[in-house]
Chain A
């Protein structure tokens, strides 16, 4: 699947990376409502990931209403309005989580990150 970037050696399960990647592509408009998504076979083969990771990602996205399974026809991006707003929040969360993971790996505590973020926001306010 073009545009879907995975890093198998990241400390984040591959199914979560697939979910985040698809959400991101929807939010960025690369994937539009009604677009057909690759089959499990195409996704597992094409991205070279374990099929159960692909199945798990699709199941969770289906559960969240992001994608729909049309029996016999395939898997599609959902048509539901409000999806984009929901995605934006999910994306922000994912970005912040990734930030925390990286910061932790560099030896910062969550409190330190929160303080730094707060200080940065305050600085920007002062500047503008």
Chain B
């Protein structure tokens, strides 16, 4: 079974249903980017996978286990960098290192110490005396030092400055190349996901409404645009994923077009262009999760 798996997952809060039968399977060694609008349930999904929130129905499994109670062996191999700041503010860095080292058998602090040296931070420094960016980086460094087999991250890079961001990304990807961990991260920064991920999924209306490998997305997905008024709103070819209208033109996001189809569409006056995640992501999310303002 995939290291990260959810089956028909359901979760309802007093404000309404958030997860509505969500199925997710992140294959071994994959770096999976979770996209979706604020409040669409990304954090709920991650919390449920970590066993911090119990599902109303369905199953959330990490390394084959529901991580609620017990599972110390699995938990030692899973790291979660949650949203916000969770490290105790009074703690000196070295105590956090000692704690993590005791909890995680394969803990290796080399990268962490290299970062502390580069930042000129003493291990005696307390969490509260660090900048917000440093605190987040410390959380990420601690997670990676545990050499996790599964790593979940919720909006992990928002607080980092550009240099810290680039340095940590480099470290994360080098770790991924060596150890093939399975990584699930949520982010609104499409350019980040474009570099890091091999797969992306869009969470909308309580399910994974769209999922694709990034290579497929770039090789097989095209934007077909009709300028001016179109006679009908029907998609001009099969394989439609989504469509949207703006400024008098309509665009269809279409998968698996053959070159003969492209030629036909161009003859018929449509504009056909390749898609990247940055260009596509916004419209994809908008059309899968329309909200009336």
Give A43 to B276 CA distance when docked, in angstroms: 22
Which residue from A9, A41, A50, A54 sits with its C-beta under 8 Å from B31?
A: A50
Instruction: Report if B173 contacts A (CB, 8 A).
Output: yes
Instruction: Report if A35 contacts B (CB, 8 A).
Output: no
Give A14 to B198 CA distance when docked, in angstroms: 10
Are A46 and B170 in contact, CB atoms less than 8 angstroms apart?
yes
Are A11 and B198 in contact, CB atoms less than 8 angstroms apart?
no
Binary CB contact string for chain A from 12 to 52 against chain B (1 if under 8 A, 0 otherwise): 11110000000000000000000000011111111011111
In the complex with contacts A9-B278, A105-B273, A45-B173 CB distance below 8 A: yes
Are A110 and B198 in contact, CB atoms less than 8 angstroms apart?
no
Are A41 and B219 in contact, CB atoms less than 8 angstroms apart?
no
Q: Report the minimum CB–CB distance from A18 to chain B (whole Å).
A: 12
Q: Report the minimum CB–CB distance from B222 to chain A (whole Å).
A: 9
Are B197 and A50 in contact, CB atoms less than 8 angstroms apart?
yes
- Among B30, B173, B176, B278, the one with the most A-chain Cβ atoms within 10 Å of its Cβ is B173
Are B171 and A45 in contact, CB atoms less than 8 angstroms apart?
yes
Are B263 and A12 in contact, CB atoms less than 8 angstroms apart?
no
Give A12 to B177 CA distance when docked, in angstroms: 22
Which residue from A40, A50, A105 sits with its C-beta under 8 Å from B274?
A: A105
Binds A, one of B76-84, B145-153, B188-196: B188-196
Chain A residues near B173: list those with CB within 8 A.
Answer: 44-45, 48-51
Q: Which residue of A is nearest B266, CB measured?
A: A109
Instruction: Report if A101 contacts B (CB, 8 A).
Output: yes
Query: What's the dominant secondary structure at chain A's contact region?
Result: helix
Are B178 and A41 in contact, CB atoms less than 8 angstroms apart?
yes
Instruction: Report if A127 contacts B (CB, 8 A).
Output: no
In the complex with contacts A44-B177, A54-B177, A11-B29 CB distance below 8 A: no
Instruction: Count B-side interface residues using an 8 Å CB cutoff.
Output: 35
Instruction: Report if B4 contacts A (CB, 8 A).
Output: no
Are B277 and A9 in contact, CB atoms less than 8 angstroms apart?
yes
Give A39 to B173 CA distance when docked, in angstroms: 13
Give A109 to B218 CA distance when docked, in angstroms: 20
Which residue from A11, A49, A51, A53 sits with its C-beta under 8 Å from B273?
A: A11
Give A42 to B178 CA distance when docked, in angstroms: 10
Are B276 and A11 in contact, CB atoms less than 8 angstroms apart?
yes
Name the interface residues of B275-292: CB closer than 8 Å to any CB of A.
275-279
Are A9 and B176 in contact, CB atoms less than 8 angstroms apart?
no
Instruction: Report if B166 contacts A (CB, 8 A).
Output: yes
Q: Report the minimum CB–CB distance from A47 to chain B (whole Å).
A: 8
Instruction: Report if A115 contacts B (CB, 8 A).
Output: no
Are A9 and B276 in contact, CB atoms less than 8 angstroms apart?
yes
Q: Which residue of B is nearest A6, CB measured?
A: B195
Instruction: Report if A116 contacts B (CB, 8 A).
Output: no
Given A50-B214, A110-B266, 4 additional A-B pairs, CB 8 A: A12-B218, A42-B174, A105-B273, A110-B263
A-B contact pairs, 27 of them (CB 8 A): A10-B276, A11-B274, A11-B275, A11-B276, A12-B274, A13-B215, A14-B215, A41-B178, A43-B177, A44-B174, A45-B174, A48-B173, A48-B195, A50-B196, A50-B214, A51-B173, A52-B29, A52-B30, A52-B198, A54-B177, A56-B215, A101-B273, A101-B274, A104-B271, A105-B274, A109-B266, A110-B263
A residues apposed to B, CB below 8 Å: 8-15, 39-46, 48-54, 56, 101, 104-105, 107, 109-110
B residues apposed to A, CB below 8 Å: 29-31, 166, 169-171, 173-174, 176-178, 180, 191, 194-198, 214-215, 218-219, 263, 266-267, 271-279
